[in-house]
């Protein structure tokens, strides 16, 4: 469905330039659900805007739904759906009117457009809101309307830019229900960006992590976590000198790395915590170090990002929150 | 084939913009308000002055002027509505559809024009009892020129809106800075003939001046007047420039 090679986008900023996306290579097969994960400003939206023909790439090529984004943007547009970050419906227009307009934008005749508008209204539980204006809808309802607009022409490939950002947990779950149903019932290929780690983790079958305009990891969430992060073991002892000794002995455990000591707590990463913890506790007992608590945790995608970049996805997200534009 | 698609897309955009007007016709009443104020509160002042050398009714001179003023503010409003949609996400959503880019501009401007034509009809109808004598073929030709001119202005206003997003400050600044000089320097409200030479020279450089003069000639049925030719030329130049820049701006990505 998507084949991109060396996709690059440079923005002029004052006299210099910013490379928002630097050489993106990606292949997405039909029917996949891909989550594009990265902090704000990593190049997610810019990549999406290039793949959807909104923004011409500075260099590189991309074939989307069988058409070239540069030489045949109209061909790409006819075959894909796109749900942007902001609200898709105009404030002056009624919900159903916008859906009819959208259908006509794809060349449906007036009567067919009306029929199709009613279909997607039903599909996304929006029937009761047909004559309302977007300003009177709740956040979750607006997002459902955005998705309805993106689905009006039954695209085989749907791009969603942060589909659940800013919604309460219940609305998020509801949006996901609709997204997953789409995939089940129509086999729609879904390519979405998110900065919610849990979402990418639980919903997507493939996670692509992007940072500073480059793809830094690509695989299933389980693969990434297993290969790049590993489990976490946390042990607390009774005083700081003992913690230092506990940290020293941790190096004996096979495959462990990146142990940190914080006052009376020692944290280490291991390939498999279930095997490492008993071993570690035996070492500590032999040393005469008394352990107060011991915990293990499965890694999160944040741990993957941390392992890859040395930064936490949440932190880099916070520090960029003030930037006016999400590139 | 592609002409048919262009017309279809233009009609799609036009009906999108026009349906809300039909759903809330009260808003139309307000857009009618301003030109009527000019007609009734400013027109009589003009009619009272003796500067028209008794050639024809001052209404003959003033009614085309009001239409031009509306023709300037309509497209500006179209640009404003585009700016709002650019700042929100609805423009982006339309740009991802295969909708023809030029049709997006033309369809929006056409909506402003249907409103302008309704306003024109109302004003002409109200001015007739005051002494305005429209020359029908002239009026129709004049309105056609205004449509061409307005499409160009509308597109330029869209280019400005695109350049101004996401903050929009540039748009408000430029429209304020450009619109008033254009109106004042065109002789829409008062004849330029009485101004100093430098003002007249500046007015001669203003495309709006030529459109105004063409409209005045046409509304009185003087088809052979050279100002008609210049007016038509300027309208075409503005339309061609506007559409070329507008389509280019859309292609470059927003």
- The predicted model gives B116-123 an average pLDDT of 84
User: Contact B159/B242 with Cβ under 8 angstroms?
Assistant: yes
Residues of A within 8 A of B12 (CB-CB) are: 101, 104-105
Contact A80 B96 (CB under 8 A): yes
Residues of B within 8 A of A80 (CB-CB) are: 96
B52 pLDDT band, cuts 50/70/90, is low
User: Contact A24/A7 with Cβ under 8 angstroms?
Assistant: yes
Q: Is the pLDDT of residue A149 over 90?
A: yes
Q: Would you state the pLDDT for residue A113? A: 95
Same fold, A2-225 and A231-298: no
**Structural domain contains residue B183:** yes
Residue of A56, A71, A84, A325 to mutate, interface with B, max B Cβ within 10 Å: A84
**Structural domain contains residue B144:** yes
Residue B153 DSSP SS3: helix
Q: Would you state the pLDDT for residue A309? A: 81
B253 pLDDT band, cuts 50/70/90, is low
Where are chain A's structural domains? 2-225, 231-298
C-alpha distance from B75 to closest chain A C-alpha (Å): 18
- The complex's ipTM? 0.80
Fold of A231-298: Alpha-Beta Plaits (3.30.70)
Q: Would you state the pLDDT for residue A118? A: 94
Rounded Cα distance, A61 and B87, in Å: 29
User: Contact A240/A264 with Cβ under 8 angstroms?
Assistant: yes
Length of chain A: 327
Q: Is the pLDDT of residue B4 over 60?
A: yes
**Structural domain contains residue B44:** no
C-alpha distance from A106 to closest chain B C-alpha (Å): 6
Rounded Cα distance, A77 and A55, in Å: 12
Contact B93 A84 (CB under 8 A): yes
Total count of domains within chain B: 1
Q: Would you state the pLDDT for residue B54? A: 52
Residue B42 neighbours by CB distance under 10 Å: 14
Q: What are phi and psi of A265, to 5 degrees?
A: -115, 135
Q: Would you state the pLDDT for residue A109? A: 93
Query: CA nearest B250: which of B149, B165, B153?
Result: B165
Contact B98 A74 (CB under 8 A): yes
List pLDDT tens digits, range B9-32: 999 999 999 999 888 888 777 777
Contact A105 B94 (CB under 8 A): yes
Does an H or E element contain B222, and which?
Answer: none
User: CB of A85 within 8 Å of any CB in chain B?
Assistant: yes
Give the tokens for residue A37.
């994960």
Query: Residue with structure tokens 């997006």?
Result: B104
Rounded Cα distance, A159 and A32, in Å: 12
Residues of B within 8 A of A55 (CB-CB) are: 253
Is the Cα torsion angle B82, A127, B100, B21 positive or negative in sign? negative
List pLDDT tens digits, range B142-197: 989 988 888 888 888 888 888 887 788 888 888 888 888 888 888 887 777 777 88
**Structural domain contains residue B25:** no
Name the residue range of residue B7's domain: 2-17+57-252
DSSP 8-state code for residue A30:
T
Q: Would you state the pLDDT for residue A322? A: 43
User: CB of A111 within 8 Å of any CB in chain B?
Assistant: no
Residues of B within 8 A of A97 (CB-CB) are: 16, 19-20
Domain A2-225 belongs in CATH node 3.40.50.970: no
**How does the average pLDDT of chain A come out, rounded?**
86
List pLDDT tens digits, range B215-242: 988 988 888 888 889 999 999 999 999 9
User: CB of A146 within 8 Å of any CB in chain B?
Assistant: yes
Does an H or E element contain B162, and which?
Answer: helix B136-164
- Find the chain B residues whose C-beta atoms sit closer than 8 A to any C-beta of A: 5, 8-9, 12, 15-16, 19-20, 23, 81, 84-85, 88-90, 92-99, 166, 251-254
């Amino acid at each position: 469905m998507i084949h991109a090679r060396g996709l690059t986008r440079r923005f002029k900023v004052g006299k210099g330039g910013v490379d928002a996306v630097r050489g993106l290579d990606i292949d997405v097969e039909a029917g996949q659900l891909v989550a594009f994960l990265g902090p704000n400003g990593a190049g997610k939206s810019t990549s999406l805007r290039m793949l959807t023909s909104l923004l011409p790439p500075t260099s590189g090529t991309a074939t989307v739904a069988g058409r070239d984004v540069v030489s045949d943007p109209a061909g790409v547009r006819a075959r894909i759906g796109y749900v942007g970050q902001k609200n898709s419906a105009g404030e002056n227009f009624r919900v159903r009117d916008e859906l009819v307009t959208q259908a006509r934008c794809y060349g449906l005749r007036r009567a067919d457009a009306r029929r199709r508008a009613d279909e997607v209204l039903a599909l996304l539980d929006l029937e009761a809101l047909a004559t309302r204006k977007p300003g009177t809808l709740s956040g979750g309802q607006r997002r459902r309307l955005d998705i309805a607009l993106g689905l009006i022409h039954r695209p085989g490939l749907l791009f969603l830019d942060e589909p659940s950002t800013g919604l309460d947990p219940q609305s998020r779950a509801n949006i996901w229900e609709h997204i997953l149903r789409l995939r089940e019932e129509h086999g729609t290929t879904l390519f979405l960006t998110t900065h919610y780690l849990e979402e990418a983790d639980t919903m997507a079958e493939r996670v692509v992590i992007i940072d500073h305009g480059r793809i830094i990891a690509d695989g299933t969430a389980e693969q990434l976590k297993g290969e790049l992060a590993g489990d976490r073991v946390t042990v607390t002892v009774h005083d700081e000198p003992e913690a230092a000794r506990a940290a020293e002995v941790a190096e004996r455990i096979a495959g462990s790395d990146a142990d940190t000591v914080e006052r009376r707590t020692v944290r280490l990463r291991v390939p498999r915590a279930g095997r490492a913890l008993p071993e570690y506790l035996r070492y500590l007992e032999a040393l005469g170090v008394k352990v107060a608590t011991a915990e293990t945790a499965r890694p999160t995608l944040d741990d993957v990002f941390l392992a890859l970049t040395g930064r936490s996805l949440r932190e880099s997200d916070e520090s960029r929150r003030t930037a006016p534009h999400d590139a | 084939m592609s002409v048919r698609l262009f017309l279809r897309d233009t009609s799609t955009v036009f009906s999108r913009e026009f349906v809300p007007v039909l759903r809330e016709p009260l808003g139309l009443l307000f857009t009618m308000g301003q030109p009527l104020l000019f007609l009734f509160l400013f027109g009589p002042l003009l009619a009272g002055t003796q500067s028209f050398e008794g050639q024809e009714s001052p209404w003959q001179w003033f009614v085309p002027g009001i239409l031009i003023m509306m023709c300037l503010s309509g497209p500006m409003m179209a640009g404003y509505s585009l700016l709002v949609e650019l700042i929100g996400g609805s423009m982006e959503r339309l740009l991802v559809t295969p909708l023809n880019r030029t049709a997006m501009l033309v369809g929006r401007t056409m909506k402003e024009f249907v409103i302008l034509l309704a306003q024109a009809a109302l004003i002409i109808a109200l001015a007739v009892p005051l002494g305005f004598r429209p020359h029908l073929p002239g009026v129709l030709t004049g309105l056609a020129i205004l449509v061409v001119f307005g499409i160009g202005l509308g597109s330029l206003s869209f280019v400005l809106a695109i350049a101004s997003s996401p903050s929009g400050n540039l748009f408000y600044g430029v429209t304020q800075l450009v619109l008033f000089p254009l109106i004042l320097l065109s002789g829409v409200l008062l004849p330029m003939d009485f101004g100093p030479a430098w003002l007249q020279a500046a007015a001669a450089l203003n495309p709006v001046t030529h459109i105004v003069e063409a409209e005045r000639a046409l509304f009185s049925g003087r088809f052979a007047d050279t100002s008609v030719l210049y007016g038509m030329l300027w309208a075409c130049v503005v339309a061609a420039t506007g559409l070329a820049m507008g389509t280019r701006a859309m292609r470059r990505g927003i």
